[in-house]
């Protein structure tokens, strides 16, 4: 079985670095889906998005919170989307930002990588330290899966803690150093670094050679294609660039041609990011 990073590199070579985030919002869905219960509408929309963006992206990232809010039906919807994504050949990132003490981390990891979600990778919050991250690494490696650890995030308030000076360096640099160490053995521990901080993105690409970056913030959050180019390595690999609203909601709910607009947005993003 190919390693996680081999599979990730394969799809990026074939389709480019675009990662499509599936973050369904009830108020933004096409009106044609509004007659369904919310979780069913989310699944129907997500499944259609997968088919529409498949020629332009090899990575998809469902955001767990949007599905979890609808309980068991929401969980079933997310499971259906993850299953179909793998059938279509996508590499999947379960965006759940998990992080807890070791025994709980193991349970979270088993849920992400076991039969429940069968995700290819998972976003992880490292705030609790090494003993809370290690169970995710160990569980991921049992099945050739991967992680993306939060290092420098794209949200406006990220600097409140991430920029704090610690021993002469910002906290995010200490986290980046830990990620480099965790990644050294297998190359399967990546980092989340936002496109909305292009200077830090360039800095962290240099500081984390060989680490795959998951780059949020492109598109609706303000990051540009020029901003994210610093994330790629010398071979044009090393990063996947997420766009959620920019690709999945480039339409108004009453637009009859919403599918064509998703295709156009995905094609445009693919072209900009290559």
Task: Check if the beta carbon of residue 158 is closer than 8 Å to that of residue 152.
Answer: yes
Domain extent, residue 149, equals: 4-273
In the prediction, which pLDDT does 229 show? 93
In the prediction, which pLDDT does 1 show? 75
Output the six-digit token pair for 133. 């991250």
Is the pLDDT at 180 greater than 90, yes or no?
yes
Residue with tokens 């900009």: 272
Taking phi over 0 as left and psi of -120 to 50 as alpha, with beta for the rest, 121 belongs to beta
Residue 104 burial (C-beta neighbours within 10 Å; 0-12, 13-18, 19+): middle
Residues in the chain: 274
Beta strands in the chain (DSSP E): 18-22, 59-62, 91-98, 121-124, 146-152, 165-166, 169-170, 189-193, 213-215, 239-243
Q: How many CB atoms lie under 10 A from the CB of residue 264?
A: 15
Taking all residues of the chain, what is their mean pLDDT, rounded to a whole number? 96
Half-sphere exposure of 183 (CA within 13 A, CB side): 25
Query: What proportion of the chain, given as a percentage, has pLDDT over 70?
Result: 100
Output the six-digit token pair for 37. 């219960």
In the prediction, which pLDDT does 197 show? 86
Output the six-digit token pair for 176. 């980046």
In the prediction, which pLDDT does 219 show? 82
pLDDT tens digit sequence for 132-175: 999 999 999 999 999 999 999 999 999 999 999 999 999 999 99
Choosing from 97, 142, 181, 268, which is the catalytic residue?
97
Query: Smallest Cα–Cα separation from 231: which of 219, 218, 243?
Result: 218
In the prediction, which pLDDT does 185 show? 87
Provide the CATH number for the domain around residue 187.
3.20.20.70
In the prediction, which pLDDT does 115 show? 97
In the prediction, which pLDDT does 82 show? 98
DSSP symbol at 208: S
**∠ at Cα 24 (13, 44), nearest 5°?**
85
CA 239 to chain CA centroid, nearest Å: 11
In the prediction, which pLDDT does 89 show? 98
What is the domain count for the chain? 1
pTM of the entire predicted model = 0.97
Is the pLDDT at 128 greater than 90, yes or no?
yes
In the prediction, which pLDDT does 274 show? 84
**Dist CA 154 CA 121 (whole Å):** 19
Q: Return the H-helix or E-strand segment holding 97.
A: strand 91-98
Rounded average pLDDT over 81-86: 98
pLDDT tens digit sequence for 187-239: 999 999 999 889 999 999 999 999 999 999 998 788 899 999 999 999 999 99
Q: Is 97 a catalytic residue?
A: yes
């Amino acid at each position: 079985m190919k390693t996680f990073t081999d599979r990730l590199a394969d799809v990026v070579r074939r389709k480019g670095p675009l990662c499509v985030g599936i973050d369904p919002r009830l108020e933004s869905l096409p009106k044609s889906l509004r007659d369904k219960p919310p979780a069913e509408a989310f699944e129907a929309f997500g499944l259609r998005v997968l088919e529409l963006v498949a020629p332009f992206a090899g990575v998809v990232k469902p955001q767990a919170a949007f599905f979890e809010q609808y309980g068991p039906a929401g969980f079933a919807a997310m499971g259906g989307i993850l299953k179909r994504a793998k059938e279509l050949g996508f590499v999947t990132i379960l965006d759940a930002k998990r992080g807890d003490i070791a025994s709980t981390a193991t349970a979270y990891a088993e849920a992400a990588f076991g039969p429940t979600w069968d995700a290819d990778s998972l976003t992880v919050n490292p705030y609790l330290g090494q003993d809370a991250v290690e169970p995710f690494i160990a569980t991921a490696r049992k099945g050739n899966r991967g992680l993306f650890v939060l290092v420098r995030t794209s949200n406006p308030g990220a600097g409140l803690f991430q920029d704090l000076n610690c021993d002469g360096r910002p906290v995010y640099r200490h986290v980046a150093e830990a990620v480099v160490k965790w990644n050294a053995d297998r190359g399967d521990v990546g980092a989340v670094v936002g496109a909305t901080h292009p200077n830090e993105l360039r800095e962290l690409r240099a500081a984390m050679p060989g680490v795959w970056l998951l780059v949020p913030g492109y598109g609706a959050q303000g990051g540009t294609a020029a901003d994210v180019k610093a994330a790629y390595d010398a071979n044009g690999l090393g990063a996947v660039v997420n766009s959620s609203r920019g690709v999945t909601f480039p339409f108004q709910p009453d637009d009859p041609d919403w599918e064509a607009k998703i295709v156009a947005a995905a094609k445009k993003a693919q072209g900009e990011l290559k």
